[in-house]
Chains A and B, each alone.
Chain A
Amino acid sequence: MRALALYLRSRAVPATVAVVLGCAVALWALGRTVDHPLARALAAILITLAATTAISHGLAGPDHDLDTTAAIAWPPRRAAHIIVAGAAVLGLLAAAALAGEPMTSIGQLLRNVAGLTGLVAFGAVVLGAARAPLIPVLWTLLVLGSVPEPPARPTYKVIFTWMVQPTDNRTAMLAATAIAVSGILGYAMLGSRR
């Protein structure tokens, strides 16, 4: 128990939890103030983005060298860390977004949290934990800035705009799953870049 508490503290989990809780509150508040359906969907995507990128903070410990000297198997622990973190984000956001008049569907929320978590994990592998949010943030903003409406075809455009596609779009769901699986696997195997 003590080891777990120390681990959580070393991974800045209290700060991350505070930020994710803040995001959930912001989402709830936006749900009460924004009426336009498109703006509500946009708010849901943006807050999902903020909450998922908050995970990045805990993807690396304070001392990379110290971690590597530990005689424990990191891959399953890293996988558990990021999956639990993603699930916690999903749960908190779902509670905020679906309470009252829903802002988004549970399927869309699940897809976006999973995909964005995968991107954050990928970012941690490639750029390091501190710079990891760059990839999901840039991608999402580029999509939100360049497409007024989610395109239904061609396929590469659907894949590029996976986070704004409707829930029942299978291609977008597959793209998000692929990103999530590869990102989480990559992070579990390789860990954060130093």
Chain B
Amino acid sequence: MGGRILRIELLRSVAPLAALLIAAAGLFVIYAGNLPEASWMDLVVRQRTLLVLILPLALGAGAWQGIRERRSKVEELFHTTPRPRWRRVLPTAGAMAIAAVATYLVTLAGATGHLQHANGYLPASAGPLIAIGALSMVAAVWVGLAVGALLPSPLTSPMVVVAGFVALTLVPNMIHPTGPGSPGSPGGYLFFPNLQVPDLNEGKVDTGAALHMLTGRANLAQALWLLALAVAGLALHAAARPATRLAALLPIALGAVVAVALLPANLAAAWVDNPHATELTCTTDQPRICIPRAQSHMLDKLRDPAGQALSILDSKLPSAPVAVTVQIDERADDTRPAADTLLLRLELNASDAALTRDRLLARMLEGGGVPLCLSLMGREPTSETTTRYMAARLAVVGWLLDREPPQRGGPEGALAIAALGALRALPADQQRARVTALRDAERGCLTGDRLDLLTGSGTNG
């Protein structure tokens, strides 16, 4: 019996139409954003922040459904039936909840088209974010149902949409003068189901949300708070007497108390680094490549150039590396790789243009397979020290590949060509010794001018 009514309500209530409209609105806004999202985590967080728009609409849909009996002028008729109110409204509420969850998931599924790498790393910590987003949709439609039933006016629905939007957009600005993005904003922002993301990369290069996660405690607090709201909304909608309605508000107070106890004092404390995202995973076949999980989608593009780079190094230099390890450029430090490892720095969201075979090969061979020493870079990127340093590293690429050094449009290009010419003028065993010396200097981040090392007046010969 209940199942049949639920099926009818799924078809005949406002649920399917509202789900369609809200999902379309969400997708419109996601696709209207200029750039595709860089990672799954960015997309999941984007959808949660988008709740600012979606939740008011869900609230309005609930309210619209909540005034159905008044609109159809059957209120009095239904009051005369002996069936208790809660048994009557439960299938409707169930249908609305199913539609709400479906809306959230369909929007997410549709939004994957606006994701740069759908085969990229999907962290487990995205699961709670999605589940809580869907839960907030259920809470919104049930609270909407309750408001609609309590204030059965045709104006209720548009008014709760606007009121919801005001609450989600303007109240955060009232809590803290500069909003949630500023340091020191309170953990109370987590009461808003639309995620308020603090400045995750304070003082570091921006990597979006990909390397972060919300703590379990913060997720739990949000889940309990939204569950309390949902239960209160449903109870308020199902209650027939004023006394029960009052009692139905109890979960809100309870949820608020529990959430306050669980929430951190500071919003930034709720976001932590996701160690799983930066952990290296290694291939088992040759060439052996170790890559952080967050960049694992680049693996296919790396295989060929990695194998090539390793064999070039093996044929031209002594004690060449046998494996490639990828380091996230934004998180790079001067930790030196082991002698058997070629360390490659790649931007977290490196574009496909940067991942062509030629460019990857050149990057891997730079400095003889050792990444740039950040400590040796001059303070200004255009200083002469830096230019000479870069030129020496590029000249090595040219020497290893037996062609002109790759040009990046900087002043180091011409210098690298000249250096390569000078290097090639030397006897073959000297050339090899000098490139090895440069690589060894790079492996230790030793100070000293690398261009002199490569082409200087033979003190290293």
Contact = CB atoms under 8 A, between A and B. Distances in A.
A51 to B, nearest CB: 9
Interface in A32-73: 33-36, 39, 42-43, 46-47, 49-50, 53-54, 56-57
Contacts of B56: 141
For the side of the interface on A, what is the size category?
A: 20 to 34
Contacts of A43: 166, 170
A39 B173 contact: yes
A21 interface: no
Interface string B130-160: 0000000000000000000000011101110
Interface stretch (A142-150, A165-173, A179-187): A142-150
Given A142-B29, A144-B53, A145-B53, A42 B169 contact: yes
A15 interface: yes
Interface in B167-217: 169-170, 173-174, 177, 179
B25 A39 contact: no
Q: Is the interface of B mostly helix, strand, loop or mixed?
A: helix
Given A34-B174, A43-B170, A137-B60, A19 B159 contact: yes
Interface of A: 15-16, 19, 26, 30, 33-36, 39, 42-43, 46-47, 49-50, 53-54, 56-57, 129-130, 133, 137-138, 141-142, 144-147
A46 B157 CA distance: 15
A129 B154 CA distance: 9
Given A30-B170, A137-B60, A141-B57, A50 B29 contact: no
A141 B162 CA distance: 9
B19 interface: no
Contacts of B170: 30, 34, 39, 42-43, 46
A34 B57 CA distance: 24
Q: Which of B52, B60, B71, B155 has the most CB of A within 10 A?
A: B155
B158 A50 contact: yes
A137 to B, nearest CB: 5
Nearest to A18: B155
B25 A142 contact: yes
Interface residues of B, number: 30
Interface in B277-322: none
Interface of B: 21, 25, 28-29, 32-33, 50, 52-53, 56-57, 60, 71, 153-155, 157-159, 161-163, 165-166, 169-170, 173-174, 177, 179
A36 B173 contact: yes
B43 to A, nearest CB: 16
B166 A46 contact: yes
Given A138-B25, A145-B53, A15 B174 contact: no
18 contacts: A30-B170, A34-B174, A39-B170, A43-B170, A46-B166, A50-B159, A50-B162, A53-B155, A53-B158, A53-B159, A56-B154, A56-B155, A57-B154, A57-B155, A138-B21, A138-B25, A142-B29, A144-B53
A64 to B, nearest CB: 14
Contact of A54 (B33, B155, B161, B169): B155
